[in-house]
Structure 1
Amino acid sequence: MVSQPYRIYVERTDATKNMARFFAMEISSTLFGETCLTRTWGRIGRRGHSKAHHFDHEADAVELFLELTRQKRQRGYCPRQRA
């Protein structure tokens, strides 16, 4: 079981470059008791691509979650702007 929810959704938009991207991550438990980090990314308004990483320990999943979050923030991704 995952001890606390880990979920993030960030976007990166730049009208001058016709860029509208999203990146989402979530840590959850599988039916077999493994910890799973699922990443989804793509163009805003599209389904996007997904990749799942399976871990024996939640701490390993959290470590990857935080590292990927840091990388995305450095590249200019930020939480969705409210309308």
Structure 2
Amino acid sequence: MPEPSIQYLVLERTDAAHNIARYYVLSLEPTLFAEMALVRRWGRIGRAGGHRVEFHETQAGATEALQTWLKRKLRRSYRLTGASKRPA
């Protein structure tokens, strides 16, 4: 069974006039139990922030959740600043 690829998205929201400097990271990572995890990390740029892990039985389910969070963040004025995908 091939190892699933890791997808990693970095979003930022900055507005000097309102002292806003935030980041949001979304990544898809395989678990030890043949599931996929959507890992979300967030906080102020330059500081430690929070994180949350959501487990999904399939890569399709995890990808759908990632796309939902991406749309949500883009609506809130975050912009995509980095992305990577490792081939399987």
TM-score by length of 1: 0.88
Contact map agreement 2:6 2:30 (CA 8 A) in 1: no
Residue 12 of structure 2 corresponds to residue 11 of structure 1: yes
Residue 61 of structure 2 corresponds to residue 52 of structure 1: no
Where do 5+ consecutive residues of structure 1 fail to align?
none
Instruction: Give every structure 1 segment of 4 or more consecutive aligned residues whose post-TM-superposition deviation is greater than 6 Å.
Output: none
In structure 2, C-alpha distance between the alignment counterparts of 1:79 and 1:36, rounded to whole Å: 21
Give 1:1-83 correspondences, 5 Å limit. 1-2=3-4, 4-80=5-81
The structure showing larger relative contact order (alpha-carbon pairs under 8 Å, at least 6 residues apart) is: 2
Amino acid at match of 2:58: H
% identity of equivalent residues: 34
| Residue aligned with 2:33, SS | coil
Amino acid at match of 1:55: H
In structure 2, C-alpha distance between the alignment counterparts of 1:76 and 1:48, rounded to whole Å: 19
Where do 5+ consecutive residues of structure 2 fail to align?
82-88
Amino acid at match of 1:42: G
Report the Cα offset of residue 79 of structure 1.
2.8
